[in-house]
Chain A
């Protein structure tokens, strides 16, 4: 009964911890490894125009990214002095509208978006309707029908149809039909436009899409046309310039359809520029922002919401349960005896600053000199508490002395001796001296060395970078540690050192 309850409880902890962990990792994209870095791009669109000499109302619209396959928007802002702005959804995607009652002279409007790569972003558009047959009038209708018939003969499905079509549009030299459709223009935008028309005639939904390449430190990014074709199942992407299928790796979709990028009412000469800047961002930060945008409460309960000093404290504190787990394993499974249950964990914390070798040397130095004083004090016949206080004072003085001497000798490691938990050291000295007197030096030294070994093992586990990162980013993993501790609490098998102890007994048994 007892055993069954513990398993259910431990399993529940495992599942809760695991579910939170998986959600944060897979859904919110918290990084699993410490060295991961996420690239983010700051894309800025700048509209500059002259509002003229006289104060007059101005209204400007600009298409802005909405559905962006392969990328997600982390943050966006609209900078425009004196203008009011609204965003709305229009046929071509999203649009921002700036408006002002009175404006004169040169004006600048900014739209700035911070985007990051997100492979989980795809177009979740509904399946589009079959497009109506384009009505263009003769002789274009005939040319269209002929072209569709020719291309259909040499293709199998919407994808191959599109590829074949784009090939013919590119190599327009001999074909009169294509010459008619392109009407003398041959840039990729015109070709994409023509392709949309032909695809509509072939009952394949398609649309023109425009975006920019995310190239680092690009002051003047150009708008690149792209072709989107729906194969009845999902959207496919084609480069109208080359006919290649797929999206470039760093392509940010800006808007779709025939509409122009911007409109301006009441201004003159207009210029629009795109600039792109790439940065490395802490992936945790990206995940946090993302959790906020999907309105997950997880980010509110994250350690990253704490002030930075508090974060530093918790980065250490969160490793203590792990040290405690190591102690549990070493005591209950291996069977090492130590002075004080969790003393090794606290000493291990001090090792973080001193490193193991220096830490062991400093610890042994302080404890052995402290023990000498303790034995000397035994002759003075002090009462227990004043004696403990005296040992504590001596420990503090010893630590200061070691630091000063080490500093004189130019040894950095000596300075960090101040981080040792001095009360713990004092109690260790006291307990060690009692064991020394009652059980003999051998056992005292054995327990002292045992404590140090446990501390060193604790430290080496608590110092693993991956674990430090995991426990800070995914504190719910502590539930796993708790579950393991609960299960170990019911471990009734032999301890390893017990096997050594019973070895001679086993030899005498059948």
Chain B
């Protein structure tokens, strides 16, 4: 076991305690948490800064307003309902189609909800069933991201998203999360999605992981996970680096989705991003974080992205 610890230490693999102690507590002031824990305020910040986000159709903030849903989505075929303060993807409904006359909704995983079902779900969200401390919450109704063809072979019934760890404004590690049958179309590693590491220099996928074990193929589509090239890579890194200036959190997880029509959009920010990204990249975080700690604050976005693509990507290359 000591050998295991030594090996992980030598490779700079970050544990939860160290992440909390040395990075989150030091670089993430608590007063800034509400900005990222509440998806509504994140969305407003991003819009104010000119970063694209999924269009907000409406907010349902009281049990009375639950009945407004059909009117809110009248003009849209598909939409997403999510708790503003949910965590880990809990409580998110992705409605892919609905029958207008009867107000029956079809979810992305194929199940059918009637009006009562969806109203009950909304009132659960508002009561705080999915929020972190059980506080009252609001439900966001927003644009459902359209599947980008990049991932046509690599996602099962859901939209993949890109997670970038941004440390003091520098992108340090990234992965793309590919939904599977087991994750019910959700891009959440805890629920069984595939995490695929991304080469920071090129934006090309390297390795995959499900849970804690490495995989080489998507379990549902059978497509090889390595070698998938993301479009507009330097733009994506710039996008994520700008999120630092948005929220001010030093240790940040940025979740981006690629929309077929509208391009990259900010999905959410995370003040406590998980550590499985290290398994997906087969690379520890610590050495890259240490390099960034030596950079002076206040560098422009382009410089930070260039540093990430050239120095960081080369300094601690993902192991093959």
Contacts and interface: CB of A to CB of B under 8 A. Distances in A.
Interface of A: 332, 335, 381, 383-385, 434, 438-440, 490-495, 498-506, 508-510
B5 A504 contact: no
Contacts of A504: 212-214, 279
A447 to B, nearest CB: 12
A509 B282 contact: yes
B7 interface: yes
18 contacts: A384-B127, A384-B128, A384-B129, A438-B91, A491-B17, A491-B21, A492-B21, A498-B16, A499-B1, A499-B8, A502-B13, A502-B278, A506-B8, A506-B13, A509-B8, A509-B11, A509-B282, A510-B11
B127 A383 contact: yes
Nearest to B207: A508
A492 B18 contact: yes
A501 B278 CA distance: 11
Given A332-B17, A505-B278, A510-B11, A494 B63 contact: no
A155 B1 CA distance: 70
B208 to A, nearest CB: 12
B17 A508 contact: no
Interface in B63-111: 63, 88-91
A492 B17 contact: yes
B1 to A, nearest CB: 7
Contact of B18 (A493, A499, A510): A493
Interface of B: 1, 4-5, 7-8, 10-11, 13, 15-18, 20-22, 63, 88-91, 116-117, 119-120, 123-124, 127-130, 190-191, 212-214, 278-279, 282, 319
A383 B1 CA distance: 49
Nearest to B125: A384
Contacts of B278: 502, 505
Nearest to A433: B129
B140 to A, nearest CB: 18
B279 A495 contact: no
Secondary structure of the B side of the interface? helix
A494 B8 contact: yes
B69 to A, nearest CB: 15
A506 B4 contact: yes
A434 to B, nearest CB: 7
A492 B16 CA distance: 8
Given A506-B8, A508-B282, A510-B319, 12 more contacts: A438-B89, A438-B91, A492-B15, A492-B22, A493-B5, A493-B15, A502-B278, A504-B214, A505-B13, A506-B11, A509-B319, A510-B10
A442 to B, nearest CB: 11
A231 to B, nearest CB: 61
A509 B5 CA distance: 12
Given A494-B5, A502-B8, A509-B282, A383 B63 contact: yes
Nearest to B319: A509
A439 B116 contact: no
Nearest to A335: B16
B124 A384 contact: yes
Contact of A490 (B21, B89, B116, B117): B21
A494 B212 CA distance: 16
Contacts of B119: 381
Nearest to B121: A381
A501 B212 contact: yes
A293 B123 CA distance: 67
Contact of B282 (A385, A493, A495, A505): A505
B29 to A, nearest CB: 15
B190 A439 contact: yes
Nearest to A440: B191
A505 B208 CA distance: 11
A439 B13 CA distance: 26
B13 A383 contact: no
A502 to B, nearest CB: 6
Contacts of A506: 4, 7-8, 11, 13
Given A381-B116, A492-B22, A504-B212, A498 B15 contact: yes
A440 B213 CA distance: 19
A510 B11 CA distance: 8
Nearest to B92: A438
A508 B212 CA distance: 12
Contacts of A505: 8, 13, 212, 278-279, 282
Which of A383, A440, A500, A502 is the most central at the interface, judged by chain B CB atoms within 10 Å of its CB? A502
Contacts of A508: 214, 282, 319
Contacts of B190: 439
Nearest to A434: B129
Given A492-B18, A493-B18, A504-B279, A509 B90 contact: no
B70 to A, nearest CB: 17
A460 B213 CA distance: 35
Residue of B15, B88, B91, B130 with most partner-chain A CB within 10 A: B15
Which of the listed residues B17, B20, B124, B319 has the most CB atoms from chain A within 10 Å of its own CB?
B17
Contacts of B279: 501-502, 504-505
Contacts of B16: 335, 495, 498
Best-buried of A335, A434, A495, A509 by chain B (most CB within 10 Å): A509
Nearest to B127: A384
A506 B213 CA distance: 11
Q: Which residue of A438, A440, A491 has the most chain B CB atoms within 10 A of its CB atom?
A: A438
Contacts of A491: 17, 21
Contact of A493 (B7, B11, B17, B116): B17
Q: Which 6 pairs, one residue from A and one from B, show the smallest C-beta to C-beta distance?
A: A384-B127, A381-B120, A492-B18, A494-B15, A492-B21, A438-B90
Nearest to B18: A492
A334 to B, nearest CB: 11
A498 B13 CA distance: 11
B155 to A, nearest CB: 20
Among A491, A503, A505, A508, the one with the most B-chain Cβ atoms within 10 Å of its Cβ is: A505
